[in-house]
Structure 1
Amino acid sequence: MKWTSALAIYLLFLALSAFFVLPFHGRKAADDDTPLVKGQDHGAPATFRPARILLQMTIVATIGFAIYYAAYVNGWVNPDVLAGRA
């Protein structure tokens, strides 16, 4: 596998990891005792920590890519199996 292909696949894992990480974040501002700013949605998070979210996304993406790469290198899944020819 070329390094550019590996990078593209890792970036896909990074983007998809947002769907696994983001649902676990967010105490709602309405649940917190802090006053809401005019126009703020009640479901908006009380605090937003993008660095922490990116770190967790990176960890999830790295683990997922490592599993994918191990399967690719060891030939656990090949195109013939996926296409139903084997």
Structure 2
Amino acid sequence: MGITSALVLYAVFWFLTFLVVIPIRLQTQGDVGEVVPGTHAGAPQIHNLRKKALITTVIAAILWVIVATIILTGMITLEDIDLFHRWNSDYSG
């Protein structure tokens, strides 16, 4: 795996994790009871984005290390997940 591939893999893990972490403990204007006129009651009031970004970075790093280790050591190869035997080296068709 090259450096670019590693960075892209980490970015994918980071953004997917961030999308999962964002709604956790989110307090909306409706929850707090202070709806600003002209806004929706579901608009975030307390979001803690800095803390969520830090949590996301740690979780994404852990996931990235696990997947990068699997890829680099060859624990799981393309032949292991090939259900239709398209990548088998002894396949001549």
TM class by shorter-chain length? 0.7 to 0.9
- TM-score between the two structures when normalised by the length of structure 1: 0.82
Gaps of 5+ in 2: 89-93
Instruction: Quote the residue 2:49 is aligned against.
Output: 50
Deviation at 1:7, TM superposition (A): 0.7
Q: Which has the larger radius of gyration?
A: 2
- TM-score between the two structures when normalised by the length of structure 2: 0.77
Tell me whether 1:9 sits opposite 2:15 in the alignment.
Answer: no
Identity of aligned residues (%): 26
Q: Which moved more, 1:8-17 or 1:38-47?
A: 38-47
Higher relative contact order, chain-length normalized (CA < 8 Å, sep 6+): 1
Structure with greater helix percent: 1
Q: Distance in 2 between matches of 1:37 and 1:23?
A: 20
SS of alignment partner, residue 46 of structure 1: strand
Q: Distance in 2 between matches of 1:20 and 1:76?
A: 28
Instruction: Quote the residue 1:19 is aligned against.
Output: 19
Deviation at 1:64, TM superposition (A): 1.0
RMSD of aligned alpha carbons: 1.7
Gaps of 5+ in 1: none
Instruction: Quote the residue 2:72 is aligned against.
Output: 73
- Runs of 4+ more than 2 Å apart: none
